[in-house]
């Protein structure tokens, strides 16, 4: 399974080669790509055909109490972590997923709370 953070969506939107390859391989293999709903809010800056196409191919996960609590606990344990990063990592931990991010250092800091999550650069 795969989870994208905001930077991954921006990279796809900007047609960065590495993320286009990840995107295409996941799509061709029928692998779902998950994003917490807050990532959509952080990324979306007005409708474009490209954004609409990207959004339509994602599995957007609502932030419920379980996900929120998991992220909050991570934030309490890791000084300086942000809500969006903690939610991305919590979702990846719950789904046993790999995370693609442009903020490797920030998400790597959260790996001490979620050691099973693999973090890859966009």
Complete DSSP assignment for 70-122: HHHHHHHHSTT--HHHHHHHHHHHHHT-EEEES-HHHHHHHTTTSTT-EEEE-
Question: Tell me: the pLDDT tens digits for 5-53?
Answer: 999 999 999 999 999 999 999 999 999 999 999 999 999 999 999 999 9
- List of domains in the chain: 2-121 (3.40.50.1010)
Single pTM value for the model: 0.95
Tell me which residue of 101, 61, 41 sits closest to 111, measured CA to CA.
101
pLDDT score at 36: 98
């Amino acid at each position: 399974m795969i989870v994208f953070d905001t930077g991954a969506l921006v990279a796809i939107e900007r047609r960065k080669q590495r993320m286009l390859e990840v995107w295409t391989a996941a799509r061709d293999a029928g692998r779902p790509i998950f994003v917490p709903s807050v990532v959509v809010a952080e990324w979306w800056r007005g409708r474009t055909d490209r954004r609409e196409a990207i959004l339509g191919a994602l599995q957007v996960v609502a932030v419920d109490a379980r996900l929120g609590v998991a992220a909050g606990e991570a934030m309490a344990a890791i000084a300086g972590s942000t809500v969006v990063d903690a939610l991305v990592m919590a979702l990846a931990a719950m789904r046993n997923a790999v995370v693609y991010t442009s903020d490797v250092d920030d998400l790597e800091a959260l790996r001490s709370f979620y050691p099973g999550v693999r973090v890859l650069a966009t």
